[in-house]
Structure 1
Amino acid sequence: MDSLAYVRGGLFAFLFFYPLFMAYLWMIGAVYYYWRRERAQGTYENPPELPSYPGVSLVVPCHNEGDNVRETIAALLAQVYPNFEIIAVNDGSKDDTGAILDELATLHPQLRVLHFAQNQGKAMGLRMAALTSPHEFLMCIDGDALLEPHATTWVMSHFVHGARVGAVTGNPRIRTRSTLLGKVQVGEFSAIIGMIKRAQRVYGRIFTVSGVVSGFRKKALHQVGFWSLDKVTEDIDISWKLQLNYWDIRFEPNALCWILMPETLSGLWKQRLRWAQGGYEVLFANLNEIFHWKKRRMWPVAAEFAISIVWSYSMLAVAVLWASSYFMPLPEYLEPPSMIPHWPGVVLGLTCLLQFAVSLTIDSRYEKGLGRTYYWMIWYPLAFWLISLTTSIVGLPRALFKKRGRRALWISPDRGVAEREGAS
């Protein structure tokens, strides 16, 4: 019984200290990254002058983006970069996306349009655009995103100065802010996603580029076989393939891109479940490679992901025990702690608020009035932690039992409610 009690105590300590440890690891890493690499840079509106400006193809895969694609193409045409073209891929859209793109192509010679008769999936759209591009460098964004005018220059600064840079991930900013979920996501992309990318860059490798805004070197893509067609998250897949083949991935916070995100619980659930399932698929696909000594720089990223899986299922076990205790008596060594927060909950809550304060302070240089979202972040642990926990649990069996080799096709996501706010 003593050994079981010891295991029980260790489990509950793990459930408390793991998120606490990761929060402070991310904060320390992000502050170090900001101090050493970010604070001395110019503002996003004043990019560095490059020794050369290689040609870039701005790639936009589209599926049913008729409501957004005009804005997206207009933002690309406004890029302050001397040598670029635009390749838009109409991937079997059922709305007027194809007609709008053809109309825009007649007005703007920089725009070329590829049409797929049927839905082939985002990975195939990106792959075909890369194969038809005459340039060595690609800048890939989603069909509902608005790229800041100097973003291409910021991304290209890494490629021009780094021969082993295979990809550069940009800095997505939320423009759907008309509901509580939208407001909370503004803080999440700073306090969680942006902070994690900064910290992961410090210890060498990042989990994933941003699927909505990233640049790529075509030589690197060709070496790793481009994007896999059967992964539901092509961004995680290509990130691991590149880094396992010794290509570097950089994070460029000045490469801003304004994006639409789900503002309903159902839309958010579907998005995060896809993210979770995609992470599992990529982990399983690379298990044989990840343990090689030469791939050791990926170990921290893989370990962080694996431990988070264990933490999620441990939380599930505690939740089951807690629910069971209301219907049957449990042995003393199985009795879970109270689910009502005590001092551990207070510590985690204060740490969460500190994390948001640090990240919003760092990101305030890219977005005015960002501090106003701090008030809404009190809801983040309740809504987003619960969604992340449950999608992590549900995503594992979905990845395990998915039919191998099955093409990952487009599914039109929740784009938020009608009111959309840009940068304030």
Structure 2
Amino acid sequence: MASRTRRRRVPLRLLLPLLFLVALMAMLMLRGYVHSEILADHRVQPEAAADRVPDDILEGGPVIDTREGRAETLSVPDRHVVLTFDDGPDPVWTPKVLDVLEEHDAHAVFFVTGTMASRHPDLVRRMVAEGHEIGLHTFNHPDLSLQSKDRIDWELSQNQLAITGAAGIRTSLFRPPYSSQSGAMDNNSWPVTQYIGDRGYITVVNTHDSEDWRRPGVDEIIRRATPQEGKGGIVLMHDSGGDRRQTVQALDRMLPDLKKKGYAFDNLTEALEAPSAHSPVTGVELWKGRAWVFLVQASDNITGVLVVGLAVIGSLVIARFVLMLLLSASHARKVRRKGFAWGPPITEPVTVLVPAYNEAKCIEDTVRSLVESDHPVEIIVIDDGSSDGTARIVESLGLPGVRVVRQLNAGKPAALNRGVANARHDIIVMMDGDTVFEPTTVRELVQPFGDPRVGAVAGNAKVANKDKLIGAWQHIEYVMGFNLDRRMYDVLRCMPTIPGAVGAFRRSALERVGGMSDDTLAEDTDITMAIHRDGWKVVYAENARAWTEAPESVQQLWSQRYRWSYGTMQAIWKHRRAVIDRGPSGRFGRVGLPLVSLFMVLAPLLAPLIDVFLIYGLVFGPTDKTILAWFGVLAIQLACAAYAFVLDKEKLTPLLSLPLQQILYRQLMYVVLLQSWITALTGGRLRWQKLRRKGGVSAPPGASAQQSQALDGRPVA
């Protein structure tokens, strides 16, 4: 019973990516909330009649006290000016305002929003330390006359939380957004003012509005902010919300001028000779405020890093597309020009190695396709301890030039090394047991060995089972992502991988680097990097086509790509010292390894940022620009994909599924790569995972009926 009720634990390799994505989205949501992109309300209520507002309020002073049922106002004494600044603190203009106030020994009241106080707590602390008063201006700056009481409470509490976290205080001063003078109070704003008083706050409006937000000029700001005939007043200014250069200049002129006329610039409670509006906060509330500010700072910092990452990935994507297009075109022109040859034609026989482990469903078609080759071949099938009769199937065919070598299960690298040891020829072709060659594939694959500097050749691996959606997506990936890449790397002379499905090696090159290694799960990438480091050239033969059966289920695809991603990381780490290799062999370390690390490891890791910001932009805006940007990226990818399909002489029809591929398939690849990173960083060891084949590749797609019959072993009429 205990075993039945025992809960299955989520594997760490799945739990960590999930937690990472949840934390990332939480940080972005917090950032959107703090930047008024989420839950903000920018509506403004039209003015209403004032028939219900008491005359004492309409004709009274700018300080309105509605606490405990009162409806009283206070005015600032003559020759006293209370400067108030709304909407800050701003990291650019608030310090300049504070500097001017300090220079002229003046105090003020800063009505801060929770969003800005949370993001710039150091400025709130400076305000308090320099003797200024802090007041609430709500969290998101909404018009409170349009909000419910719950929303008003929320705006106040969040604003207080930000101030507490920044400076360790509470304040009893409040100024509603979009407020004016007490005489402008109406039937929409008065009930809010009463409710604010019930919550323990004093509402502060103004007597003089500088209208500095309009930037009317320094002289006009001073004129509007100056009380007449020695009267006192509360002056409304802004230290945030735009360019406040005129505000700073006006302060610098106004303060000394009015001081000479006998004016004092005090904060509100000093001017009214009232108890301080600030009270210290301790205990749990203080730590809640500090935790809030810490999280906001973290979300801003993380978002800043993500924006940098987005810029990096954008640059890498564009750079990769540009390189692929330009260098692929260069490669095509080089190998397709009339009279091009790698060197003297290669006509001597070559050995083809077919490592096979439980390939009963595929092996007959694979071997028959090799027998039909128009180049002389020796075919060696290395049965790596199969339990499904793979070796017996090959032997029962009785095909000429085909040998079977049996060994206990030791893995693909060991099987290939065993095959090399049994090979009779100096050029070794390697393929997978589920792959079908065209009759010309071997001939096309080995011609580059006419150049004695060539140590290995990559063929053109193509997806045969592309009639299903997952297969079609992989077909796009193979044609665009893999083969355009190979053309690019060929021109740069730093090909990172000879595909296991279709590749050829010079025996002497294999022997010099010690043969195939099982140090990594990407033995094809490992051996290619080793051959580069030994000074050999590695090139791409575009016409050497091999048709392979791609995974048809998400689980199988996950397993394959997980192994590829992790194996590539292992190979990069194994050959990390290539960056300091000298001489011609050091080109791969100087060019190839950095490009592989950028384009195959770092770029895919950062690429999800495109989709994260896409979702964020769709939900929180700007939606139109976000959609336009996404379609712009899609158009670039479509152009590259179409060009790759034209180069490979493929029909463009599968590209109809490209938008869906970007939405679904690409996300799966992201998670696979993230899981590979986590496996690498946690020191995990990934096991080789055999894919379950269906044996669906019996002949190259598009082959003639006569060729198909020959491959199937049927008599040809």
TM bucket, shorter chain:
0.7 to 0.9
* Inter-partner Cα distance in structure 1 for 2:330 and 2:548: 27
Contact 1:176–1:260 (8 Å) recurs in 2? yes
Structure 2, unpaired ranges of 5+: 1-90, 93-299, 703-717
Which of 602, 605, 611 is residue 310 of structure 1 equivalent to? 602
Residue in 2 that maps onto 1:345: 630
* Inter-partner Cα distance in structure 1 for 2:504 and 2:325: 26
Q: CA 1:188–1:245 in 2, change beyond 3 Å: closer, same or farther?
A: same
* Inter-partner Cα distance in structure 2 for 1:421 and 1:152: 16
Residue in 2 that maps onto 1:68: 362
What amino acid is aligned across from residue 574 of structure 2 in structure 1?
A: A
Which of 364, 383, 386 is residue 90 of structure 1 equivalent to? 383
1:290 partnered with 2:575? no
Residue in 1 that maps onto 2:661: 380
1:415 partnered with 2:708? no
What amino acid is aligned across from residue 138 of structure 1 in structure 2?
A: I
Q: After TM superposition, list the pairs within 5 Å mapping 1:231-310 onto structure 2.
A: 231-294=520-583, 295-308=586-599, 309-310=601-602
Which of 293, 304, 311 is residue 13 of structure 1 equivalent to? 311
**1:148 positional shift:** 1.0
Q: Equivalent residue of 2:652, what SS?
A: helix
Q: CA 1:338–1:267 in 2, change beyond 3 Å: closer, same or farther?
A: farther
Q: Equivalent residue of 1:16, what SS?
A: helix
**1:269 positional shift:** 1.2
Q: CA 1:313–1:112 in 2, change beyond 3 Å: closer, same or farther?
A: closer
With 378-387 and 347-356 compared, the bigger mean Cα shift is at 378-387
1:171 partnered with 2:171? no
Q: Which structure: larger Rg?
A: 2
Q: Equivalent residue of 2:539, what SS?
A: strand
Q: Equivalent residue of 1:342, what SS?
A: helix
Residue in 1 that maps onto 2:38: none
Cα shift readout 1:232-257 (whole Å, capped 9, x = no counterpart): 11111111010111111110011111
Q: CA 1:32–1:92 in 2, change beyond 3 Å: closer, same or farther?
A: same
Q: CA 1:178–1:8 in 2, change beyond 3 Å: closer, same or farther?
A: closer
Which of 439, 442, 463 is residue 149 of structure 1 equivalent to? 439
Cα shift readout 1:16-37 (whole Å, capped 9, x = no counterpart): 2321221222111111111222
**1:350 positional shift:** 0.6
More relative contact order in 1 or in 2 (CA 8 Å, sep 6+)? 1
Contact 1:169–1:249 (8 Å) recurs in 2? yes
1:196 partnered with 2:485? yes
Residue in 1 that maps onto 2:130: none
Contact 2:436–2:697 (8 Å) recurs in 1? no
Q: After TM superposition, list the pairs within 5 Å mapping 1:14-33 onto structure 2.
A: 14-33=312-331
Cα shift readout 1:160-218 (whole Å, capped 9, x = no counterpart): x2112111111112111231111122222111111110011111111211110101111
TM-score of the aligned structures, taking structure 2 as reference length: 0.51
With 376-385 and 309-318 compared, the bigger mean Cα shift is at 309-318
Structure 1, unpaired ranges of 5+: 326-334
What amino acid is aligned across from residue 164 of structure 1 in structure 2?
A: R
Q: CA 1:169–1:324 in 2, change beyond 3 Å: closer, same or farther?
A: closer
Residue in 1 that maps onto 2:676: 395
* Inter-partner Cα distance in structure 2 for 1:164 and 1:268: 36
* Inter-partner Cα distance in structure 2 for 1:188 and 1:283: 22
What amino acid is aligned across from residue 22 of structure 1 in structure 2?
A: R
**1:415 positional shift:** 3.2
Contact 2:384–2:410 (8 Å) recurs in 1? yes
TM-score of the aligned structures, taking structure 1 as reference length: 0.84
Q: CA 1:263–1:416 in 2, change beyond 3 Å: closer, same or farther?
A: farther
Cα shift readout 1:361-413 (whole Å, capped 9, x = no counterpart): 1111xx5xx22222222222223322332222211232355578x9x65x321
Q: CA 1:149–1:49 in 2, change beyond 3 Å: closer, same or farther?
A: farther
* Inter-partner Cα distance in structure 1 for 2:559 and 2:346: 42
With 288-297 and 20-29 compared, the bigger mean Cα shift is at 288-297
Residue in 2 that maps onto 1:332: none
With 144-153 and 213-222 compared, the bigger mean Cα shift is at 144-153
What amino acid is aligned across from residue 310 of structure 1 in structure 2?
A: L
**1:263 positional shift:** 1.6
Contact 1:262–1:416 (8 Å) recurs in 2? no
**1:98 positional shift:** 1.9
Contact 2:352–2:379 (8 Å) recurs in 1? yes
**1:222 positional shift:** 0.4
Contact 1:178–1:420 (8 Å) recurs in 2? no
Contact 2:458–2:539 (8 Å) recurs in 1? yes
What amino acid is aligned across from residue 666 of structure 2 in structure 1?
A: W
Residue in 1 that maps onto 2:135: none
Q: After TM superposition, list the pairs within 5 Å mapping 1:3-152 onto structure 2.
A: 9-38=307-336, 40=338, 51=345, 53-82=347-376, 84-104=377-397, 107-117=398-408, 119-152=409-442
Contact 2:385–2:407 (8 Å) recurs in 1? yes
* Inter-partner Cα distance in structure 1 for 2:325 and 2:694: 30
Cα shift readout 1:71-102 (whole Å, capped 9, x = no counterpart): 111111111123x2111011111112121122
* Inter-partner Cα distance in structure 2 for 1:362 and 1:149: 21
Contact 1:261–1:414 (8 Å) recurs in 2? no
Contact 2:493–2:539 (8 Å) recurs in 1? no
**1:416 positional shift:** 5.8
Contact 1:176–1:421 (8 Å) recurs in 2? no
% same residue: 22
Residue in 2 that maps onto 1:328: none
Q: CA 1:360–1:343 in 2, change beyond 3 Å: closer, same or farther?
A: same
